[in-house]
Amino acid sequence: MTIDATILNVLRTAEAGISGADLATQLGVTRAAVWARIKDLRTLGYEIDASPHLGYRLRRSPNLLHSDDLRSRLQAGAVIGREVEVFQETTSTNDVVQKLAIDGVREGVVVFAESQTRGRGRLGRSWHSPAGKGLWFSVLLRPRVSSLEVTHITITVAVSIRRAIEAVTRLPAEIKWPNDILVEGRKVAGILTEVQAEQDAIRYVIVGVGTDVNQAANDFPKELRGVATSLRQESGREVHRADLAAAMLQALDEDYGTLQRGDFGALAEVWERACTTIGSKVTIQVGGRRVQGTAESLDADGALLIRTRYGRLERVVGGDVTVER
Ligand code: BTN
């Protein structure tokens, strides 16, 4: 961990404050060096009190993404987020992670961008990623699952992202199959899973997550206004993006651990309870095929089972779902 990350970590733990001398001892640097780092953190927007009696105290963190800060909030030993990079602007965070994957970087690295110029969504759509308003990030995974089980990863991520959103905002969030997160029936987050596989073996998976956090209604392009919303619009208050990002990475690390230990069943149970698509009448467009019926359940591979009006059970693994409400 860098000195800045360690300082922020210690300040978060010592809510009542910590003396410059104690901080310097914990970091193994001089008090002057601590003071120099505190000054730098203040210029980034961290409100840190310095008083002769109470020492240093973190009063408020800025609503921006800072890689050291995010790292400092994660468990020691976490896989997801063991390296975090933040770009001001990039084409797509999935592209950046793909380069890292090709370079052989180990799994768990997370790349955020404050804005994306070519953010992409599922089914070849573009993903609107305005600066500083949302959380646009991608994670590199090298999971021990076969390429047939890639849906397990998307389901795991949907479970984690929903839990983090609920924990931080207290808003009730639902999952729309396969991987949209909705609040009050409108989309707040989407997941794009891209896989590099050879025959049946996965070389790596890039999971891109886009969450609309602090947009006002008119920050969305007109065509999205009826279907998309932001956490700020739904909760009525600005959401601290770094708090949400840290909660998402923590949840992802826990749930990815569960998946890697072979307990997909536990995640699928949570997913099924949160997925409002189950039990609904749906129309799914899969390429040129259209499937209509009632979504009954998820099968062991994470595919959706649809009972058509002719009584046949259809298995669907991807596509665009319209849910009748
Ligand atoms: C969808 O619902 O269609 C998936 C949207 C995924 C968007 C995220 S934003 C971060 C990452 N980079 C991208 O270009 N896309 C994903």
Instruction: Please tell me the distance from the alpha carbon of residue 311 to that of residue 209, in angstroms, as a whole number.
Output: 36
CA 297 to chain centre: 25
Instruction: Please tell me the distance from the alpha carbon of residue 141 to that of residue 256, in angstroms, as a whole number.
Output: 9
Count of CB atoms situated within 10 Å of the CB of 129: 23
pLDDT score, position 300 = 80
Residue 148 has pLDDT above 80, yes or no: no
Element (DSSP H or E) covering residue 2:
none
pLDDT tens digits for 29-51? 999 999 999 999 999 999 999 99
pLDDT score, position 150 = 87
pLDDT tens digits for 191-200? 999 999 887 7
Residue located nearest, by CA, to atom 11 of ligand 1: 208
For residue 264, the CA-to-ligand 1 centroid distance in Å is 24
Ligand 1 closest atom vs CA 134: 9
Question: Does 138 contact ligand 1 (Cβ within 6 A)?
Answer: yes
The best mutation among 117, 120, 157 to test binding of ligand 1, ranked by most ligand atoms within 8 Å of the C-beta, falls on 120
- 241 against 63, higher pLDDT: 241
- What is the rounded average pLDDT of the residues 62-71? 91
Residue 325 has pLDDT above 80, yes or no: no
pLDDT tens digits for 191-240? 999 999 887 788 999 999 999 999 999 999 999 988 999 999 999 999 99
315 three-state secondary structure: strand
Residue 262 has pLDDT above 80, yes or no: yes
pLDDT score, position 88 = 96
Residue located nearest, by CA, to atom 2 of ligand 1: 190
Residue 1 has pLDDT above 80, yes or no: no
Q: Do residues 315 and 305 make contact, with C-beta atoms less than 8 angstroms apart?
A: yes
pLDDT score, position 221 = 92
pLDDT score, position 229 = 97
Max mean pLDDT range (76-80, 93-97, 313-317): 93-97
The best mutation among 114, 153, 209 to test binding of ligand 1, ranked by most ligand atoms within 8 Å of the C-beta, falls on 209
- What is the rounded average pLDDT of the residues 118-123? 94
Question: Does 136 contact ligand 1 (Cβ within 6 A)?
Answer: yes
Question: Which of 291, 310, 259 shows the shortest CA–CA distance to 177?
Answer: 291
Structure tokens at 203: 């070389």
Question: Does 177 contact ligand 1 (Cβ within 6 A)?
Answer: no
Exposure b/e, 68-82, CB count within 10 A at least 16 = b: bbbbbbbeeebbbbb
For residue 280, the CA-to-ligand 1 centroid distance in Å is 26
Q: Do residues 71 and 5 make contact, with C-beta atoms less than 8 angstroms apart?
A: yes
Question: Does 176 contact ligand 1 (Cβ within 6 A)?
Answer: no
Residue located nearest, by CA, to atom 7 of ligand 1: 210
284 three-state secondary structure: strand
- Residue 75 binned pLDDT confidence (cut-offs 50, 70, 90): confident
CA 287 to chain centre: 27
Ligand 1 closest atom vs CA 123: 3
Residue located nearest, by CA, to atom 9 of ligand 1: 210
The helix-helix angle for 20-27 and 3-13 (nearest 10°) equals: 130
Question: Does 154 contact ligand 1 (Cβ within 6 A)?
Answer: no
Residue located nearest, by CA, to atom 16 of ligand 1: 208
pLDDT score, position 2 = 83
Question: Does 119 contact ligand 1 (Cβ within 6 A)?
Answer: yes
Rg of the Cα atoms in the chain: 21
- What is the rounded average pLDDT of the residues 152-170? 97
Instruction: Please tell me the distance from the alpha carbon of residue 136 to that of residue 211, in angstroms, as a whole number.
Output: 7
- What is the rounded average pLDDT of the residues 283-288? 86
- Residue 76 binned pLDDT confidence (cut-offs 50, 70, 90): confident
Amino acid present at 128: H
Question: Does 230 contact ligand 1 (Cβ within 6 A)?
Answer: no
Count of CB atoms situated within 10 Å of the CB of 49: 13
Q: What average pLDDT does the structure give for the chain? A: 93
Measured at the CA of 275, the angle between CA 269 and CA 277, to 5 degrees, comes to: 130
Residue 99 has pLDDT above 80, yes or no: yes
Measured at the CA of 59, the angle between CA 57 and CA 62, to 5 degrees, comes to: 125
Question: Which of 315, 312, 324 shows the shortest CA–CA distance to 289?
Answer: 315
Question: Does 130 contact ligand 1 (Cβ within 6 A)?
Answer: no
- What is the rounded average pLDDT of the residues 131-151? 91
Q: Do residues 8 and 45 make contact, with C-beta atoms less than 8 angstroms apart?
A: no
Question: Does 210 contact ligand 1 (Cβ within 6 A)?
Answer: yes
- Residue 163 binned pLDDT confidence (cut-offs 50, 70, 90): very high
Omega of the bond leading into 143 within 30 degrees of 0 (cis): no
